[in-house]
Structure 1
Amino acid sequence: MDVGAHERELAMEALDAHRRAGRLERGEHASRCSAASRATSRAQLEALFADLPDPHPAYPTTSQAPQAPPTERRGAGPVPELPELPELVAPAGATIARHAGLISLLTPAVAALLFAVSGGRFPWIFILVPIVIAGVAVISHRHER
């Protein structure tokens, strides 16, 4: 059975409830929400909940389905297909990975600025430069998988 935006929203709301209950980690939640936003059948949506307890989405029955838009009922032709929805939940690692080069470039400059502002009292601040760059690299590498 084909699904529309309403059924996909119901599935994502149920996935949100599982995330709040701690049953889904952030990455798994984002992956399942992304799959739900692209789902075209109820079977694809139900597969997202196969390993999860209730709540599952309460899909409307065919008698409760929303009516076709007025343009379609008057015979003006089908409503154009909407573009694919973007991923609705981006993990924090995605933002860090996207800006990894900029973060790595600015880290030594920020450390030098902090060193200068402190009057040279904290030379250990430069130890943070490789630590921050390594952390950004690890997060970026994990997000690439």
Structure 2
Amino acid sequence: MTEVPSPQLRISDQNRESALSALGEHMTAGRIDIDEYGERSARITAAKTRGELGEIFADLPAPHPRYEDVPQAVAAPEPVKEAQPVPQRPNSPDNWSPPQRFLAGIVPLAFIAAIALIATHMVAWPIIFVPLGLAAIGKSMWGRDWNHDQHHRDRRDRHLRDRERRRELRDSYRDHRRGLDH
């Protein structure tokens, strides 16, 4: 059971960002046009309370802004579930073989040692090929992901796609506004 917060409760920047994201989805779906998006996004930016934000989305279906800070009413505790084992990703460092672990640990050390030796003029610059060769061996034996975290790359790719989508929406809005001004 959740407690319905007062519409007079003030909102945070995170709530405004959530509202702008939801509004962008409505524009992408064709529920509102670019002019209405501009008007409503200006109202979202100026909104101070949940009530003001709610009025902006009153005539739109989900998605609506998310409020992660909604207070929860006290309810009966849920029964304790047994912990489920977390499935391991196949390329996770937890699943690496001893040779993979060794190589993943030695490559950064080899780079540091090579740079130190070159900086102190103890060895000529070609020593840098030793760690590069170790990295190439690791890649050839275990593939591209032998020393990378797939989850991190997925998150970064998702972030870049979202950023590009926001830029396209912004540019589309600006182009449309320029067309109205002329």
Q: TM-score range by the shorter chain?
A: 0.3 to 0.5
Larger radius of gyration: 2
TM-score (norm 2): 0.37
